[in-house]
Amino acid sequence: MRPDTPADHVDHIAEAERLERTAGLYPEDAEQLLLQAAAHLELADARERATTLYDNLLSPSAPHPPENPTLIRALKAANLWEYGHEAEARAIIEGVRGTAPSDAAPWVIAAEALEAHDELDQAHETFTEGLGRLLPAPAEAAPGGSGDSGGAEPPYPTHPLLFGRHRVRRLLGESHDAWDGLADRVHRSRAAAAGRTPVPLDELHDPKRVWALGSENPEDLRAEITRLQAELGSYRDALSRPFPVAVLHWPSAELTELLTAYPALTSEYPSHEAHLATIESSLRELATSGTPNLGIVTGTVPSYEAFAASEGTSPDDVSLLPQYATTLAARGRAAGWPPERGAGCWCGSGNPYTACHGATSTDS
């Protein structure tokens, strides 16, 4: 999750430096931490420093190869364009598109960078390419219909691609197609799930609203600000999702090593089988109580020991375990629970979730 708080409310430079120091303590999480540090530097308008962080992550001499170099390149391109390096940014974006990444984030960042600089045709192409790479083509709308009206909701990371493409097509004056119908269905579904009445997507993306924000008429501005304030609650989750409520999982070998080094934790983990069963039952109880956005984080002994040292606490302190889980989740290390239909079990057995710990789950 990247920060989006304006620089006059947060000391983004100090926060970036704190994240860089933390990355030195937790090398296994360095990429996520440094990407957040770069985002803070961008918000503070320290864009050259942000570019340096991106370059360091991509450098062949980096301690670890980046997990997602295409994402880093897309972020670097968007940042470069903001301080006058348009030609380099364009070249990087073309490279990102050429790699046809299999995750949504690089497509979204590249397309939004193009859109932000009024390259609407190129933004439209990029949003469309990303959707074509990640989702099956939706069915065409029936005559008089509004587009795709059934089927499973597409994965959450693809939603910004659907909404961004819809927004750009409205700016271009294009008529609706099947992808626009799917975007509208997803938009309405999300609002309904949150108990809200959605602002129609066509209204939200109405080009006249953009012009209203540039109007010199105070009445136009006041009316548009009122509409934006009314919508803020509905669309805040699209900008920044909450961290999951995460439960800590120890693989068998890690748990053996943990209990050998810190036998006081045996009371918390009497056996690996019991540990796995407790994870599943705890998550089901949380889901039944209505707790949203559940996840699982996987611990390692070196990471846990480093966390304990940073907290000035002994690793055999049982109360440290949930804090460690929360910290891992905050660094983007959580996997969502329950796994998607057909996916492998979170325990790492290699079996489908529905044939393993999800065998009796009502969510399967």
Query: By the 8 A CB rule, do 234 and 199 touch?
Result: yes
Residue in the structure block whose two tokens are 């105070």: 218
pLDDT at 4 over 70: no
Which is it for the CA torsion 336, 339, 344, 346, positive or negative? positive
Indicate whether 143 and 64 sit together in one domain: yes
Nearest C-alpha neighbor of 246 from the set 302, 299, 193, 313: 299
CATH no. for residue 137?
1.25.40.10
Mean pLDDT for all residues in the chain: 84
For CA atoms 324, 354, 68, 37, the dihedral sign is negative
Domain-located, residue 362? no
Domain residues for the domain of 260 are 245-355
- For residues 186 and 269, membership in a common domain is answered with no
Average pLDDT over residues 41-48: 93
The residue from 239, 256, 279 where one domain ends is 239
**Domain total in the chain:** 2
Task: Tell me the torsion sign for CA atoms 192, 195, 199, 204.
Answer: negative
- For the chain, the maximum distance between any two Cα atoms, rounded to a whole number of angstroms, is 71
Read off the pLDDT of each residue in 215-223 and give the average, rounded to a whole number. 67
Residues 59 and 202 in one domain: yes
pLDDT tens, 265-319? 999 999 999 999 999 999 999 888 888 789 999 999 988 888 888 777 889 999 8
Please check whether residue 158 lies inside any domain of the structure: yes
Cα–Cα distance, 138 to 350 (Å, whole number): 31
Q: For residues 21 and 30, give the distance between their C-alpha atoms in angstroms, rounded to a whole number.
A: 10
Residue 364 domain-assigned (yes or no) = no
Q: What is the distance between the alpha carbons of residues 325 and 333, in angstroms, rounded to a whole number?
A: 9
Q: Which of 212, 214, 242, 217 is nearest to 227 (CA)?
A: 212
When pLDDT is cut at 50, 70 and 90, the band that residue 129 belongs to is very high
Q: Which residue has the tokens 């348009």?
A: 86
**Domain final residue, candidates 219, 239, 259:** 239
Give the pLDDT confidence of 48-85 residue by residue, as tens digits: 999 999 999 999 988 888 989 999 999 999 999 999 99
